[in-house]
Amino acid sequence: MAVIPWYANEKVRALDARLIESGVSGLELMERVGRGIVDFILKQPLARSALILAGAGSNGGDGFVIARLLMERGWKVTVLLSHAASRSQGDAAVNLTRLGEMPVPVVESRDRDETALTELLNSHDLVVDALLGTGAAGAPRGETARLIAAVNRCRFGRHVLAVDVPSGAEGGEGVEAQWTCTAGGWKLPIATGHGAALAGETVLIPLDENAAPLLGVPDALELEERDVRNFLPRRRIDDHKGRRGGVLIVAGSKRYRGAALLAARGALRAGAGLAVLASVPEVLDVLAASLPEAIAEPLEDAAALERIMAKWRSRCSVLLIGSGLDRDSRARGLCRIGSQWDGPSLWDGDGLYWLGEDDIKPVRCCLTPHEGEAAALLGGRSPVRDRFEAAAALARQYGSVLLKGYRSLVAGLEQTPWIVPRGDRTLSVPGSGDVLSGACAALLAAGVPAEKALALGAWCHGVSGEALGRMQGQDGILAHEVADCLPAVLKELNGAC
């Protein structure tokens, strides 16, 4: 696989320590980081003016190097300290002293009120965030928090570049960057979710050409298109619908009627040869008109599900349960019976709400939760803070997991987590997750192994959203349109094989 490796902060900090032990000074490492970032900056179409926001730690030291190198190249540069200059220590203090030998204005933010701070930000084309690095813990405070808020308030019309990680990425308000230049190795806090959204485009600044063995085993792997192509189900020219795989979908309720239809649509659009929808009459009444290719099975009560499962087990290898199922006693009964399915099952939506009850313990299941659902499954009330930790915990407890969100995660019991780097805000619409669960179920039914099916489904779903966003704009797309784009995405992947 041609994946991109991501590492925990501790491993990248250990790389710094090993390089210093090998004879590379801390000052030289700062110089390498600053030089690499300046090389990146000079390739961008910018107006040659930069405001460097510098903190008291090593991240600020990197900022001082960037300021000096840009000044040497004829840029207008101002350095804004979040602290008293005397608080800079070690290599950062050395680079601040070097900067003092040049005609670079160095000012402290505490001497600027909000109006003056806004004017300073607006007078520079590029803002460099060198306030906090990977060693920062907790939410930003004091002047640092004030500067982060000011950058975000004034960022429209400005270019913002974060050094290593956006300040505040691991708690509280974080800098919303256009670019993040991260040094030594790709770092987990900006790999997925909110941290990745803050980081914008991430660029790796190498510290040493032999860094890979020093970093050790990656903590996550980002998939690329060439990897995902290898996950595609193997189709034959003489395939019939039975060979494509069947999905039994237990979904929908009087209150949530569309979710079941969207899950079935996602399954069929992802290539399922058979989609059987077991649902309430209010859902099935519109099925023939909206999706005549699906088969309807009336689900009068929980007991009926046992008969339906027995009837279709030979033709449907996968059970998809939960989309729009609601959270009443009827739904609980359906989930209890559904947990007795003896093949692969995929649990989504309201199915996740009931998962984990004493008598609801499926044996071979996949999960597709968002952060709130993941937190609830793990006993919490608020969205998870560490997406990697949450995905791993769910995989240990239940099986293969697709933790949805920006740059979704796929985790399994015995594999390094995968990052799926496709999808954007186009997909943040009602029913989008139902389409995704249907697509993943179809790929499971086609014989794709669980983690690969989840990753491939998330990839195709993400690319569909991106394509619609480019064609029609990122706002106002409907979930059924995402489903209808899936065949074209699969065609493109298959054509690249």
Binding positions for AMP are 404-408, 433
220 within 8 A of 6, measured Cβ to Cβ: yes
Say how far apart CA 364 and CA 369 lie, in whole Å.
16
Task: Assign 275 to helix, strand or coil.
Answer: strand
Say how far apart CA 141 and CA 222 lie, in whole Å.
32
210 within 8 A of 410, measured Cβ to Cβ: no
Listed residue (480, 465, 489, 463) closest to 262, CA to CA = 480
Binding residues for K(+): 59, 129, 167
Other CB atoms within 10 A of residue 296 CB = 18
Say how far apart CA 266 and CA 386 lie, in whole Å.
29
Q: Which amino acid is at 402?
A: L
Relative orientation angle of helices 26-42 and 90-100, to the nearest 10 degrees: 60
Binding residues: 58-62, 129, 133-139, 164, 167, 259, 324, 370, 404-408, 433-434
Binding residues for (6S)-NADPHX: 58-62, 133-139, 164, 259, 324, 370, 434
Listed residue (190, 219, 231) closest to 418, CA to CA = 219
Residue 24 phi, psi (nearest 5): -85, 125
390 within 8 A of 384, measured Cβ to Cβ: yes
